[in-house]
Amino acid sequence: MNGEMQNKVVLVTGATNGIGYEAAKVLAGKGATIVGVGRNPQKCADAAQRIKSLTGNARVEFLIADLARQAGVRQVADEFKHKYDRLDVLLNNAGAFFARREESAEGLEMTWALNHLNYFLLTDLLLDVIKASAPARIVNVSSGAHTGAKSINFDDVEFKHGYSGWTVYSHSKLANVMFTYELARRLAGTQITANALHPGFVATGFGHNNGGLMRTGMNVVQKIAAKTPEEGAATSIYLASSPAVEGVTGKYFSDSKETRSSAVSYDVAAQQRLWQLSEEMVRVKVQA
């Protein structure tokens, strides 16, 4: 443990495996207090114990919730604020790919609920404690897949018609980027930065929830072409901790370098429309 992030509190969603786990582990190794979020109690307990053992940092705990449910997102925010009065880094990482259309327990399409509304609502609910901790950072894990979406499908963001798993996933990742840009603009002057990133194609559990041929095919492709989870987590870790990006906001990164996102992602009117729609779907008025 090198103490580089001593006295910093970091919340990482989707932290029981893959790039979320690797990011939590490395940031714990830098001395940060880590609060992970996962759905499975046993996986959460195992991940916390592994991180503590590997880093020598005892300040690691997990909150258990299903972030595809807005009730779960609210639960995480409430539990976090009950225990902590500061949040230096919010790393929104939890997400998934759904080959077939599914709905959450609250009746929302799963990809949109987990990959976008989760980021939007959790950020809003924790914004007061983030502001109180400034300078602070919000890091949103998106994907290069966002370039596959031509625009936000405002007429049918839940794809009740014409569902295609990859199209819908790309759409949600475009929403991540556009949300980040609008958030950064609204937080200008607050010493809170908001950036999005592409982790690369990473050998994680991505797509394995679909089972069958999808799971088998994803395993094969990942073995041939994918980054390791450690490599995939590098940009998240960089944006969460590097002095080199202190004060940098409203940007998109890949391989720990600032790069351009898709042309449509810079449409300010669409960003603002997405923000308004997201507020309506989570029934809050965001104070950013």
Task: Using alpha carbons, list the distances in angstroms from residue 95 to 131, 204, 268.
Answer: 25, 12, 25
Three-class SS of residue 253? strand
CA–CA distance, 246 with 193 (Å, rounded to integer): 8
Could you tell me how far CA 29 lies from the centroid of its own chain?
A: 20
In terms of Cβ atoms closer than 10 Å to its own Cβ (0-12, 13-18, 19+), residue 284 is middle
Nearest to 176 by CA among 139, 144, 138, 142: 142
- Helices 118-132 and 165-186, interaxial angle, to 10°? 20
Nearest to 167 by CA among 98, 263, 95, 253: 98
Given the residues 21, 169, 181, 252, select the one marked as catalytic.
169
What does the DSSP assignment read for 26-93?
Answer: HHHHTT-EEEEEES-HHHHHHHHHHHHHHH----EEEEE--TTSHHHHHHHHHHHHHH-S--SEEEE-
Q: Cβ(97)–Cβ(111) under 8 Å?
A: yes
Residue 268 tokens read as 């300010």
CA–CA distance, 32 with 77 (Å, rounded to integer): 19
Does residue 266 have an active-site annotation? no
CA–CA distance, 111 with 103 (Å, rounded to integer): 9
Residue 31 tokens read as 């001395």
Residue positions annotated with a catalytic role:
169
